[in-house]
Amino acid sequence: MRPELSTLYFENQAARILEDPAGFLRVIWSAQERDPLTFRAVFNHMAQALQRRGWSRILVDQRHMRAFSTTEQQWIVREWLPRAVLEAGYRYGGVLVSEDVFTRLATAYVTTSVQNLPLVYRTFSHEASANAWLLQQH
């Protein structure tokens, strides 16, 4: 599905969260600087939207995102991911990766820190591939 067919769920300076009619969230990170409150708001709204809809999949568009800080990485891995998986049903993340090496490294830390959770991440360079993979996951 094209993002323009999606419904806006939440937006702040850090990202936009869209509900895709195909049954998954689209999170489009911006290139803007973010503070801890706007950063955490995006993640908390992702979990709320998954839980509200009964969905398990997120397409995460990081192509323009600034790298996660060490503090952000640790919060995602230690606090948000376990809660999102156990309480909100998060199971599949398709990540459109940034060209920026620091952003890619910060994301790799997060996506490889999920060994004990029933969560699968795959990274993609093209949106069509990420969409196709997410649609195959149930």
Q: Where are the domains of the chain?
A: 3-136
d(CA 71, CA 131): 30
How many CB atoms neighbour CB 2 within 10 A? 9
CATH 3.30.750.24 fits 3-136, yes or no: yes
Supply the mean pLDDT for the chain.
94
For the whole model, what pTM was predicted?
Answer: 0.93
Per-residue pLDDT tens digits for 1-38 = 455 689 999 999 999 999 999 999 999 999 999 999 99
Is residue 97 within 8 A of residue 64, CB to CB? The reply is no
DSSP one-letter code for 106: H
